[in-house]
Structure 1
């Protein structure tokens, strides 16, 4: 456990909604160009996100494309930033996943949050 992590914990349901929105939770999806960089795996993780989740696995693409590693990376990212730059609701986590550590404060992540709600999650799920 890293000393800088907070005690925030994303729920399994919220993680499932993020996975659903990102890839229909397709465990076989690989990397695709998203903007100027690749987004990879079922959670569509970028290299900078993987670095922020403490570089689990044997490398960025390996971890992002492995469901278990990617899920753990997402949990670690939320523990790192949840409660520090944003709150600890599913909405905060989803908007951070989409918009970075301060994603909950960006209006550009509102449409992503609507997709998460359409996938079956609520603010406190």
Structure 2
């Protein structure tokens, strides 16, 4: 009886902790307009020819210029991104799911100190997990911002 009580209490505590973490880290998907503008800044939303090129020392591929590390980290958030990084970047839908997965990992309120915005998401996309803090990503954000203004 004592063991059953401990097990039940432990399970309840785990559920409460998991629930509170889920509330604090709500996943804020990248809005369609923000996603489209990131795509436009990256490649004018076209599958590039050649598909991949070197950017900042990494091979990046597809309309969102996704590198293998970005894709791997996006997959860790449970997104269905296929089994191959390059094949995913050829497909617009898979590339968009990769961006959403990456943001689900890094553009969260508990990391940012506020609810994620398109600016945060664009700067993280461009500069990695801490891109939202880096001055080097501001010029990228301004390009996305101009696109957003044009779209609205």
| Alignment TM-score, normalising by the size of structure 2 | 0.72
1:60 is the counterpart of 2:85: yes
Residues 121 and 93 of structure 1: is their aligned pair in 2 closer, same or farther, counting only changes over 3 Å? farther
Q: Bigger relative contact order, structure 1 or 2, given CA contacts below 8 A and separation 6+? A: 1
For 1:17-41, what per-residue CA distance to the aligned partner results, in whole angstroms no more than 9, with x for missing partners? 0000000000354111112111100
- Give ranges in structure 2 of 5+ residues lacking alignment: 1-20
- The match for 1:33 is 54
Structure 2 distance, partners of 1:35, 1:102, is 16
Structure 2 distance, partners of 1:88, 1:121, is 19
For 1:68-108, what per-residue CA distance to the aligned partner results, in whole angstroms no more than 9, with x for missing partners? 10001101111111124334100000000000111100011
- Give the one of 107, 117, 126 matched to 1:89: 117
| Alignment TM-score, normalising by the size of structure 1 | 0.86
Structure 2 distance, partners of 1:80, 1:48, is 13
Q: Secondary structure at the match of 2:59?
A: strand
Instruction: Please give the root-mean-square deviation of Cα atoms over the aligned residues, in Å.
Output: 2.2
- Give ranges in structure 1 of 5+ residues lacking alignment: none
- The match for 2:17 is none
- The match for 1:101 is 129
1:117 is the counterpart of 2:145: yes
Structure 2 distance, partners of 1:107, 1:22, is 19
Deviation at 1:54, TM superposition (A): 0.8
Q: Secondary structure at the match of 2:123?
A: helix
